[in-house]
Structure 1
Amino acid sequence: MTLFIPKESPEAVTEAQEMKRGGWVIIGLFALTIITSACFENFLHLPPAAGMMLGLTYLSFFSYYLQKTTSSTHLFAPVKVDYFAPMKYMGNPKAAIQQDEEIDQSFDVFHKVANLEWDTLLFFYGVMVCVGGLSFIGYLELTSNYLYGADVDPTIANIAVGIASAFVDNGTIMLAVLTMQPDISQGQWLLVTLTAGVGGSLLAVGSAAGVGLMGQAKGVYTFTSHLKWTPVIALGYFGSIAAHFFINDRFF
């Protein structure tokens, strides 16, 4: 794929970037949120999601503090932001469109949550619910008995799982495999992790990164534009499987 990358180099950005007020504290709150989630699960036996929601509470309190301690002059000072800057080097004429928007420099956590890519989040929520439903009614157990039964080679099954992850989010496919709890060797577990990860990139909808990018770069990165890379990714997919068997043969 490197053969298709333009040879020219983008202009260097010499302007110094300053971290906004409260940036280091927010980074610390993020680390504290991860620690809180781990402690909730290990010590309080609560879902990690509860710890993540408590982290949102940390951020909400700090957001309130930032708003109350920001001067009115600084609060409404507009700044020009080019949202298309990361896409200018993708060789797409549409990415050259300039859109200057004024944004508020104050940090408002509710504004950030409101501007989330809800279509993407609902997509992942929907597929996770589908996996839970299929597990509840027993279809995942039937699939596990068929894929990882005595009649099917686990290698073939794991390669098929990787190809299937191109059509359904690879994280969801991996969740389904973990829910099945197949009795396979360590090498096969490594293989299914590899195939689900790489196979998800065969199509744009197969990975969280692809779905998220389609939501953010509407009209620039699309399902159709990704298809031209599918043959090259497929070559890498089967090449990675061969490399796995060559390097990790002792785990099978």
Structure 2
Amino acid sequence: GGLIFVPIFKTLTHLPPFVGILLVLGVLWTVTEVFYGQLPDTNVNKKGTLKRVTNMLTRIDMSTILFFLGILMAVACLETIGVLTQLGQGLNETFNGNHYLVTGIIGVLSSIVDNVPLVAGCMGMYPVEAAGDMAVDGIFWQLLAYCAGVGGSILIIGSAAGVVVMGLTKISFGWYMKHISWIALVGYLAGMLCYWVERALFF
């Protein structure tokens, strides 16, 4: 219900969506506090009070939140001083505006750099246009979503999930390179080829 409310809130108030999300979270917090505050003090209900928002906040992984916050702040700084714009223009000039080459290289880079800062950087490098390839649902952003997501699987260090798998299953970087990386690369290139064929046939 809260997720459905957000676009309605934005349409009615013309405020950013995050304001609606914060409003929904505030309402949920208030409801849970009122509900658990009215429960009698018994051993059974003490287990239920562990689900109160104040207790759940202590379990939040703050290091991850600060990591993403730092990434977005760094990207915003680079965008403000114009570095990202120059990088985007340089890539377009080098590859003559070929979106397949530009996003393909970005996808390969995402196997080394985490895709979150990479996509955030691209959002600062390339402004969204009203129409054309750079529109909201344009070819560039579709390719970027695919390349950054799938390209991160070429190397095991390309995503946070891969790093977690290394720790849990004790997979080595060399083993992944030998047995998995080439499969991921073939799948990555095959996916781009399928997208190109689809665009050529139906658009």
Asked whether the equivalents of residues 113 and 158 of structure 2 are also in contact (C-alpha less than 8 Å), the reply is yes
Query: Match of 2:123?
Result: 178
Q: 1:116 aligns with which of 57, 60, 68?
A: 60
Asked whether the equivalents of residues 166 and 172 of structure 2 are also in contact (C-alpha less than 8 Å), the reply is no
What is the DSSP-based 3-state SS (H/G/I as helix, E as strand, rest coil) of the residue aligned with 2:112?
coil
1:28-85 CA distances to partner (integer Å, 9 max, x unpaired)?
xxx22x2343244333232222222212211211221231233413123xxxxxxxxx
Query: Match of 1:231?
Result: 182
For residues 58-97 of structure 1, what are the structure 2 equivalents within 5 Å? 58-71=27-40, 72-76=42-46
Q: Which amino acid aligns with 1:49?
A: F
Asked whether the equivalents of residues 38 and 48 of structure 1 are also in contact (C-alpha less than 8 Å), the reply is yes
Q: Which moved more, 1:146-155 or 1:129-138?
A: 146-155
1:152-182 CA distances to partner (integer Å, 9 max, x unpaired)?
4332111011122233332432333233227
Q: 2:12 aligns with which of 43, 48, 71?
A: 43
1:95-152 CA distances to partner (integer Å, 9 max, x unpaired)?
xxxxxxxxx3332112212211222221111111111111101011101101122644
Query: Match of 2:150?
Result: 198
The structure with the largest helix share of the pair is 2
Q: Which amino acid aligns with 1:177?
A: C
Structure 1 unaligned runs (5+)? 1-30, 77-103
Q: Which amino acid aligns with 2:153?
A: S
Shift of 1:226: 10
State, as a whole percentage, how many aligned pairs show the same letter.
23
Shift of 1:189: 3.6
Give the Cα separation in 1 of the matches to 2:52 and 2:79. Answer: 39
TM-score, normalising length: structure 1? 0.63
Shift of 1:204: 5.2
Query: Match of 1:245?
Result: 196
Query: Match of 1:220?
Result: 168
Call closer, same or farther: CA 1:199–1:251 in 2, change over 3 Å. farther
Call closer, same or farther: CA 1:232–1:218 in 2, change over 3 Å. closer
Call closer, same or farther: CA 1:36–1:111 in 2, change over 3 Å. same
